[in-house]
Amino acid sequence: MDFRFTEDDHTFRTHARTWLDTHLTETPAPTPRAWERELGQEGWIGLGWPEDGGAGYGNRTATLTQQVVWAEEYARSTAPTRMGHIGENLLAPTLITYGTEEQKRRHLPPSPGARRSGARGTANPAPGPTSPESGPPPPRTAPARTP
């Protein structure tokens, strides 16, 4: 097995580095939400998602090696910490592979660039003890001690 980077990988690295260097010129740095939106609009979110996936998931398809290259270049840059990496790298691929069509429609954005922020994969969207509609959470009580 040949573990060297291919010419396509080197081209991808150059493109990723140039894009990051060009888009990280703001002072102060963009807000996390604005940065996530920019990443999504430019196709840098969901690199491991299938391009089609049956419903148009993923803005671009990157090989596993290119995903590693992106992670290296992102770490090298001064880019803000990512907000939605758990949803992007854990929840979305799981739903794309194993989710029902209703779950995909409900929890996946139409494209990574249109992603929504907030809790993902919650089972109960109704107001609960931590929702703004329910007021402050009840006071915590210590568990009863047993002799």
pLDDT, tens digit, for every residue of 47-66?
888 765 444 565 677 899 99
Looking at residue 25, the DSSP 8-state letter turns out to be -
Cβ atoms of residues 88 and 4 within 8 Å: no
Domain 8-116 class in CATH: mainly alpha
Q: Does residue 122 surpass a pLDDT of 60?
A: no
pLDDT band, residue 144 (cuts 50/70/90):
low
Amino acid, single-letter form, for residue 5: F
- This prediction's pTM: 0.68
Burial 109-146 (b: 16+ CB within 10 A, else e): bebbbebeeeebeeeeeeeeeeeeeeeeeeeeeeeeee
pLDDT, tens digit, for every residue of 71-85?
999 999 988 888 888
CA atoms of 108 and 116, how far apart (whole Å): 9
Task: For residue 35, give the nearest of 82, 77, 90, 74 by alpha carbon.
Answer: 82
Domain ranges of the chain: 8-116
